[in-house]
Amino acid sequence: MNKLLLPLVLGAALTSAVSHAAPEEFVYKKPARGAASESKMRGVYDLIENPTGSAAKARLAILTGMLETKGAAWVLEQEGDGYVLARWDYKGHSIFHRIEYTADAVQIKYAGGLDAYECEMLVGDYCYKTHSNYYKYNQSLVKQITRALGRL
């Protein structure tokens, strides 16, 4: 994707976030050959339990986790009621996530990608096929959010 299209990617992510900002159970639906395995998908998109019982603490855990990921930190692009729009950049490639939260749970949803992280197989808010490292990098984010929730 051309970097000039970045505002369009963010605009689409924000429109989607406003209308659907609520964690929901992830149901694996292998759409076609070449999709990521269920375990890789669950490692990124499964609900993260919020043991704090507080949406404000969930937000803080998300922001903390974004800073503590291994390698490049995630950047806050935008936020709204019940979601944070985050961006991760690496060697000219970008991932955008809408990270939704409530007092009960946190969930990562795919909101766009540039260059290597453009989704080739998008079903709803979940990317089933993109660069193979996408799932590894995002599991680091899940791990840090989970750790931060446990410390609050």
- With CA atoms as reference, report the closest residue to 12 among 78, 82, 105: 78
Using CA atoms, how far apart are residues 39 and 47, in angstroms rounded to an integer? 13
- Note down pLDDT in tens along the chain; length 152 residues: 445 445 445 555 444 444 557 899 999 998 888 999 999 999 999 999 999 999 999 999 999 999 999 888 999 999 999 999 999 999 889 999 999 999 999 999 999 999 999 999 999 999 999 998 899 889 999 999 999 999 99
Buried b (16+ CB within 10 A) or exposed e, 63-95: bbbbebbeeebbeebbbeebbbbbbbeeeebbb
Using CA atoms, how far apart are residues 98 and 13, in angstroms rounded to an integer? 7
Using CA atoms, how far apart are residues 27 and 42, in angstroms rounded to an integer? 9
pLDDT at 136: 87
pLDDT at 10: 52
